[in-house]
Amino acid sequence: MADALAQGADTLVTCGAPQSNHCRLTLAAAVKEGLQCRFVIEERVPDSYRDDASGNHFLFRLLGVEAITVVPAGTDMAAAMQRVSDELRAKGRKAYVIPGGGSNALGGLGYVACAQELQQQCFEQGLHFDSVVVGSGSSGTHGGLLAGFLGNRIDTPIVGVGVSRDPPDQAPLVHAEAQAVCELLGLDLRVPRDAVRCVGGYWQPKYSLPNARMVEAAQLLARSEGIVLDPVYTGKVMAGLIGLARGGELRAGQRVLFVHTGGLPSAFAYQRELLGLQQVAP
């Protein structure tokens, strides 16, 4: 936001899926700063976009999104956002384009701050974690947190559970994000390839589509801890944590930190699935 304001922008332009938490938060930030906001929404699952949807889409409308452009799966999102930016420029306005998930070097700084806050809390409370489990999607969270750990010399391994890709495709994105954040910070270090730990197999059948393990994880956390998980990100990430524990990769007695990245509003768009009233993929 500081960069957008410094450049004299009057409108934020960003992108995401129909229930994008990132879009909702970007819009909220725009509202607080007196800016307009426009979205390019990628309909990754055919017919999944509904203008009367609940969840984050309801909040898009409540918060006053200026315009939403819906594009089919596989669209070049950077080009689509640039077209929106060009349209605004033709009207004498100035757009500031934010990539999906806020996942670039500047956006990754948020999770560097998260790493520092975590380190401070652990120091104050005398805590040590054996591993950290986090969602790994557009890579801003995973890559930014990894850069923060490396820069602050936190030796706790980070395990990223994929929400849209398996490790061969996901790990290079995380590595590139972490390296870009380190370079923006002026850190003289190369991110080790083996520091990027990705786990796959929990996001299928497709990004944002519910599966049985996600529903189990969401119900378990809600009914044992009073914690609500969202179906697109944290629900599948917790399913991964549970799977790693059941498989012995996370062992009894270890201290594991689960990074909950929010997303509660999207749960309201998946009510029947989360309550077990509608069949989901295995």
DSSP 8-state code for residue 211: B
> SS3 for 134?
strand
C-alpha pair distances (Å), 58 with each of 28, 51, 80, 232: 13, 9, 23, 17
Catalytic choice (20, 136, 164, 266):
20
CA distance from start to end of the chain? 41
Is 20 tagged catalytic? yes
Instruction: Return the biggest CA–CA distance within the chain.
Output: 61
How is 81-122 classified by DSSP, letter by letter? HHHHHHHHHHTT--EEE--GGG-SHHHHHHHHHHHHHHHHHH
The dihedral built from the CA positions of residue 64, 30, 231 and 170, taken in this order, carries a sign that is positive
The structure tokens listed for 105 are: 């070097």
Q: Which residues contact 261 (CB under 8 A, 6 or more apart)?
A: 21, 134, 135, 141, 233, 234
DSSP 8-state code for residue 14: E
Orientation of helix 167-184 relative to helix 105-125, angle to 10°: 90
Size (the chain), residues = 282
Q: Which residues are catalytic?
A: 20
